[in-house]
Structure 1
Amino acid sequence: MSEKARMTTHKLFLLPDYEKEGEYLTKMHSVGWKLERVSGFSQHFVKCEPENVVYKLDYAANNTNYPEYIKMFADYGWEHCGRVMGFDYFRRNADGLSEEEMEIFSDPQSKLDMMKRVILTRMTPLLIIFFMGILPNMYMIVVNSLNWDRSTLLFLAVLYLGVFALYVSIFIYCIRGFRKLKKKYTE
């Protein structure tokens, strides 16, 4: 038995990029790379025949009846491909399907509801960590700066300013992304 060809890509898709991630996976399958699994920011593919397959992501968060949730998608022809950080990956053969049949959401409100789940379960904890952990530590650096040597102060200042800048840029990106999606879904 021959070993199947495999490929791993590393792409960063943030919370509001779930549609772009589905489009990327669809494109990869159309050129002969079937999603095998996702781990963090890595997508693992196995070589296949190019097919017209559509990939979609849903965010179920902490679904208490997970097996029933997966079965519901299977009943509508969707194959479950994996789960990462609350996002479930589904694929379906798109030959002969209408645009509506290639969607996992029945209406724009369902998409907005999913976005709310993402914000409540992913963005809110990050904000809490930011306000309870990062900002107080930055304050302590400023308050205690007189008692520290310059190299320690410089190291901590650069470290916390870097984390602060990363958090702020991720939040801005996510807020803008969610606003664009909300506008798209409500038009």
Structure 2
Amino acid sequence: MKKTMSKKHQHKNGGEEAAQALDEQDLPEVREPEIEVKPADEPTPEKKPDYYDQLVRLSADFDNYRKRTEREKASFLAYGKKEFAQKLLPAYEVLLRQRAELAKEEDKGECSASLKAVKAGLNMVFTELEKAFKAEGIEHMDVLDKPYDPATQEVVAMIPSSEDQDGLVLQEVQMGFTMDGKVLRPARVIVGQHAEG
């Protein structure tokens, strides 16, 4: 009966014998390669952030922010100064005109003692205002008997004039002022116009 074993059974037994033979041999032990695991929060040398570049960028951003805020602050101050000056200009103009009228009356000899006292008071107020305006760069435009300048003046009327007064400012209806060389309030003027005839 041993002789009549099926081929399948023989093959099975032969496989087991081969496996036993392999176990008995001294084979080298196979090891898995060791992988170094780094903590997740520690960047690799290739991915390390450049802190110097970040610092330079941050410093530049802060410098730009500081300069922008300084410009805005100066702009707001200039705007506030301009607004306040424009509110004072009408009163300043009245003082200038009254001072000129009193000077004319005094020249004619028609000025009483009380008017002289008023004139002295007006001059003191005017002097203080003039100092403050000068400190802020505010100046009255001198436009009379000069050519009309559309950049600094507004024409309210044209009146007939001689040929030599054509295009000249003949009257100043509202005084014009500049602040730091820029127009604060344009002058309103009457300009002469020569009629060709």
TM-score normalised over the length of structure 1:
0.33
Larger radius of gyration between Structure 1 and Structure 2: 2
Q: Which has the higher strand share?
A: 1
Higher relative contact order (CA 8 A, sep 6+): 1
